[in-house]
Amino acid sequence: MALTMWASSTANALRISCASKPHLSLAFSFSRCFSTVLDGLKYATSHEWVKHEGSVATIGITDHAQDHLGEVVFVELPEPGVSVSQGKGFGAVESVKATSDVNSPISGEVVEVNSKLTEAPGLINSSPYEEGWMIKVKPSSPPELESLMGSKEYTKFCEEEDASH
Amino acid sequence: MPACIHELFVEFIVSVYHRHHHTYMHAFGIGLTGLVVALGYLMKQKNHHISLPLQLLLPRRFGITDSSFYVCGPALKDIKGKSPSLKFERRKKNTRPGILVRQLHIEEQLLRTSSENWCIINDGTNDPTIVMGFSGKPAELLEIESVLHDQVPVIRRFTGGGTVIVDHQTIFVTFICNKETVPDLQPYPRPIMSWSSSLYSKVFGGIGDFHLRENDYVFGNHKFGGNAQSITKNKWIHHTSFLWDFDVRNMAYLKLPKLAPAYRSARGHLDFICRLKDYMPRSTFIDKTVEAAGTQFSLRSLELEAVVTCSETEFRPSTRFLTNEELAAAAAAVSEQQLGLP
């Protein structure tokens, strides 16, 4: 895991996107903000992503978010069975000196949480779209996904956000 | 809240004072706070400035020269439309560690429920109190046996960061801002940290080789200020505990943290930290901090308790004391681990 993180950090430093693992089979694109944005996911303005597959949606924070937060040292997640609401916080990440809320892009019921993050919170940094997933949710209102951004829109959102500061 | 209620509070306070002024100083403090709440609520409703009269009025009228609470806020410039407004409160020494938890509860509530920007300066708490960050593990950070033996209170706060032991020699400064408040500031840890550093650079103005080193305020390579933050969807908080002075004995309650800044270079507590009092008088530091805040914000003083009282009541803060049982259990778990027990 340490080697993966080193590789990821080096890749980020050299502005090279982290390659997707073969089983994920998702295209990825470069963004001019140099964070990875994956096609096929939906994105919230608060920098969470959601992957809807059948009756379950997987949620995490984006590469842009983890890069700006810094090294994640602790993750607080809800218990399975808890309800989450679109735009509301469901947990938090701690990165050295700061706790940052993580907001759910959609409403629903938590059906699974990523227990690996307890022992390895750095997975959020090294693999924000894969091993660093945070919760899986049974969506209660699938149309909410339509209100989220696609990859191109989110890429532009990140660029504009970074450019304005 | 009708105006006559604050008059009732005043009469209550006077009667309490005349009858029990020595024995019931703390009750007076509570009554005083209530008066503050009422007046502040009125002022908030009428959108008035509250300046010196509140601070000067009560001590003179009741002959109290050293109240447990006072609120002051010099009504500095109010250039509406030119600078974002910042509500300012300075609170004098608190008398019980529970008040520090209350302070943190208030900060957390303001972060979560207030739409205003805040600067809060607190002149410390009397009793030594350990304050751990959001994910702090007592067994890793504290000499638990000593802490339990000496009954040192331990608080887990809602912001990230490390562990500090604070007392009456600590000065706390907190900024709570909407994310659009500071122009060109991205609401992430490093930009906020840099912004705070630039503000305090105005305070210290080259004194003592002040700078931000990793995430600490230092003179040279000695830390005197520890920072912590919490960032929500629309706001952020950045608070700092400044080591005005410290009791060397208190450092013995803290272990060397595993997660330490690189510049610490494995130095022990006493080789790593320094005292702010060796660089600047206390009142100068506070005045200059207010002045520095005033270069970026228009400051308005307002009673913190009033805002909290009138704001959302369903809010549940996460900051809390750790119980003796929790601390003992943490120590026991480590012992079992070291002994190889399941």
The vertex-B159 CA angle with A44 and B166, nearest 5°, equals 170
Contact B285, B276 (CB under 8 A): yes
**Quick one: how far is CA A114 from the chain centroid?**
12
pLDDT digits (tens, 9 = 90+) for B294-318: 888 888 776 555 555 544 557 788 9
Residue B243: partners with Cβ closer than 8 Å, 6 or more residues away: B169, B170, B223, B224, B225, B273, B274, B275, B276
Q: Specify the amino acid at residue B136.
A: G
pLDDT digits (tens, 9 = 90+) for B118-141: 888 887 667 889 999 999 999 999
- Given a cut of 70, whether residue B52 has pLDDT beyond it is no
Q: Which two tokens stand for residue B324?
A: 């003796």
pLDDT score recorded for residue B277: 95
Q: Which two tokens stand for residue B335?
A: 């012992």
Residue B15: partners with Cβ closer than 8 Å, 6 or more residues away: none
Higher pLDDT, B61 or B109: B109
Contact B333, B166 (CB under 8 A): no
Stretch B69-84: mean pLDDT, rounded? 34
CA distances in angstroms from B243 to B168, B219, B226, B319, listed in the order given:
10, 12, 8, 22
- Given a cut of 70, whether residue A61 has pLDDT beyond it is yes
Task: Determine the Cα–Cα distance for residues A47 and A66; give it in Å rounded to an integer.
Answer: 9
Stretch B245-256: mean pLDDT, rounded? 89
pLDDT score recorded for residue B106: 87
| Residue B71: strand, helix, or coil | strand
The whole-angstrom distance between A87's CA and the closest CA on chain B is 9
The whole-angstrom distance between A98's CA and the closest CA on chain B is 4
Supply the DSSP string of A30-85, one letter for each residue.
--TTS--EETT-EE-TTSEEEEEETTEEEEEE-HHHHHHH-S--EEE-PPTT-EE-
The whole-angstrom distance between B151's CA and the closest CA on chain A is 27
CA distances in angstroms from B280 to A13, B125, B220, B293, listed in the order given:
40, 20, 15, 18
Q: Which residue has the tokens 């450092």?
A: B251
Which among B1, B80, B7, B9 has a CA at the least distance from the CA of B43?
B1
Higher pLDDT, A95 or A20: A95
| Residue B302: strand, helix, or coil | coil
B230/A98 Cβ within 8 A: yes
Supply the DSSP string of B105-131, one letter for each residue.
HHHHHHHHH--S-EEEEE--BSS-EEE
- Given a cut of 70, whether residue B44 has pLDDT beyond it is no
Stretch B27-52: mean pLDDT, rounded? 40
B227/A97 Cβ within 8 A: yes
pLDDT digits (tens, 9 = 90+) for A131-146: 999 999 999 999 999 9
Q: Closest to A98 (Cβ–Cβ): which among B186, B229, B233?
A: B229
pLDDT score recorded for residue B58: 17
Instruction: Return the HEC string of A68-79.
Output: HHCCCCEEECCC
Contact B50, B81 (CB under 8 A): no
Which of the four pLDDT bands, split at 50, 70 and 90, describes residue B217?
very high
| Residue B215: strand, helix, or coil | coil
Q: Closest to B158 (Cβ–Cβ): which among A73, A87, A99?
A: A99
Stretch B249-271: mean pLDDT, rounded? 86
pLDDT score recorded for residue B208: 87
DSSP annotation of A25 reads -
- Given a cut of 70, whether residue B287 has pLDDT beyond it is yes
Interface membership of A1 toward B (CB under 8 Å): no
Higher pLDDT, B185 or A32: B185
| Residue B237: strand, helix, or coil | strand
CA distances in angstroms from A158 to A40, A46, A47, A96, B181, listed in the order given:
17, 10, 9, 23, 20
Interface membership of A116 toward B (CB under 8 Å): no
Stretch B160-189: mean pLDDT, rounded? 90
The whole-angstrom distance between B160's CA and the closest CA on chain A is 4
Task: Determine the Cα–Cα distance for residues B189 and B88; give it in Å rounded to an integer.
Answer: 23
Task: Determine the Cα–Cα distance for residues B80 and B59; give it in Å rounded to an integer.
Answer: 32
B233/A101 Cβ within 8 A: yes
Interface test with A, best of B216, B229, B319 (most A CBs within 10 A): B229
Contact B136, B165 (CB under 8 A): no
Residue B48: partners with Cβ closer than 8 Å, 6 or more residues away: B42
